[in-house]
Each structure stands twice: as C-alpha cells, then as structure tokens.
Amino acid sequence: MSRNRHRSPELPPARSDVDTLVAELGTSLDGELLVLALTHRSFAHEAGGIPTNERLEFLGDSVLGILVTEHLFRAHPDVSEGELAKMRAATVSQRALAEVARDLGLGEYILLGKGELATGGREKDSILSDTVEALIGAVYLSHGLEHTRGVVENLVGTTLGQAARLGAGLDWKTSLQELAAEHGLGMPTYTVVGSGPDHARSFVAAVLIDGTERGHGEGTSKKLAEQRAAEDAFDRLDRQLGGPTMADLSGTAPVDEPSDDLALPAES
C-alpha cells in the first residue's frame, strides 16, 4: 500500500484526434508521415528505437527556409541582403516557430517519452519548433513545394508580415549592444546561473550595463537565457530612451512590465 501511495501520477498521453491538427494545418497528410513527424526522439528511444522526426525536421527546415526567403525577396525588392537575412531569421527562429506551434495546440499531439513529459516537454520551444519543421517536411513529401508554400504562408503569415519591423530583434544581444553603444552606455555583460539535473537543465541570465541590471531571462540553454535577458533589457532601455519598443511595433505586449528603478546613468 505504501508503494502505491507514493506512485508518480500518470502523465496524459498525446492527443489522438490528429484530424483536428491536420485541419488546422489546412492540408492532408499521409498517416504514417504524420505519426513520424510527431515522434520525438525521447518517445522513439522508449519504444525500442523506432524512427524519429529528426530527418523530417531537417528537410522541413530547408523547405521553410527557401519558401520564406523567396517570399521576402519578392515582397521587399529594395531591402539589402543583410536586412533580408535578419527578416528571414526572425520568421524562422525557434521562438517564432514555437509560437506557431502553440497557436496550433501542437504540443498536445507530440509523442514524448516519460522523461520529457515530466519536465514539461510539451511547452519547450525547442521541441515545438522542431515539430513544426517536421510537419512542414511531411507536407512537402506528401504534396510538393507549391502546395507546401500555401501551408507555410498560412502558418507564418503573421510573422512574415511583421518581418521588416522585427528582423533586427532576433539577435537581441547584438541589438542591445548597438543601442547601448549609440547612447554611450557601455558594453552589456551577462551572468548566467544554471540549475536542475543534466537532462533538464534550466538557466537564468541577467544583463548588466555599467554595473546596473537592465534585464533578465530564462531558458533551457545559456544562449537562450542570454537572448531573452537581452530582449528584456532592450525593451526596457528603449522605452526609457523614448523609442518605440519591439513589442509596440509587433502589436504584442511585453512579458514583463518595466520597473521604475532602472535609472539611466547621469549625463556627464
């Protein structure tokens, strides 16, 4: 009885009504390809080494890249190569694709191992974005490039429409560095603290400028935590300096309201 009392709760399985997901995608898919696209390596390992979605993800990443690149190239004939690259990166970033996945409710359909389920795998940006790419790969194999173009534009159309304004925001560390340099505020520095077991590490980063903390962020890697801290700092600092925030430009509210105690250094 005592062992039953301390048994871990059963974790909910993936949703099986995949027709709902396919309808959200606005297409049809071969059943085997769909299951493969939803099979994370953690589930495949526990199931005895069945195929994972990683090859489809590899294919989908390339298909997504060429379709987004072509769209931006045609839609912005006067934009430089460098700016086009930033716009593309903003559209296909892990964070952007994870938001696409959340809009689809995709996390509930992904086949995950017990370890990933227990550590919140259905909400991890990396897993969500990889699965979106795997689904795009599956659509491409099922229907070819032209059909996939419509699916991709349906999935990332909102981000594509905002790409010209959000392109510089993908590499938040660079954007923050440029903003700080422009106003003579010194070079941003970062501190990162990790916690948790090796298979489920999490990181908290803080960014400091002239010794003052300007923002913080969390992530499943040091790099992601630093980028989110830089984004937070950029938004707060840009607001104090009187410019529009990236959230204002995209029409979305920032995650955290800026605090009132982030004072700028006194003018010399």
Separation in Å, CA 99 to CA 94, 110, 225, 240:
9, 15, 17, 28
Strand order in the sheet with 189-195: 189-195, 202-209, 212-219
Give the whole-angstrom CA distance, residue 124 versus residue 16: 20
Give the whole-angstrom CA distance, residue 159 versus residue 49: 36
Amino acid in position 209: I
Give the whole-angstrom CA distance, residue 208 versus residue 140: 45
Q: How many residues does the chain have?
A: 268
61 flagged as catalytic: yes
Which residues are CB-contacts of 153 (< 8 A; sequence separation ≥ 6)? 67, 71, 160
Question: 248 among the known binding-site residues?
Answer: no
Which residue is catalytic, options 133, 171, 231, 238? 133
213 flagged as catalytic: no
Give the whole-angstrom CA distance, residue 238 versus residue 94: 24
**3-class DSSP state for residue 137?**
helix
Question: 130 among the known binding-site residues?
Answer: yes
How many Cβ atoms are within 10 Å of 111's Cβ, its own excluded? 23
Question: 133 among the known binding-site residues?
Answer: yes
> 214, 236 in Cβ contact below 8 A?
yes
Strand partners, 218: 204
- For the annotated binding site for Mg(2+), the residues are 57, 130, 133
- For the annotated binding site, the residues are 57, 130, 133
* Catalytic residue set: 61, 133
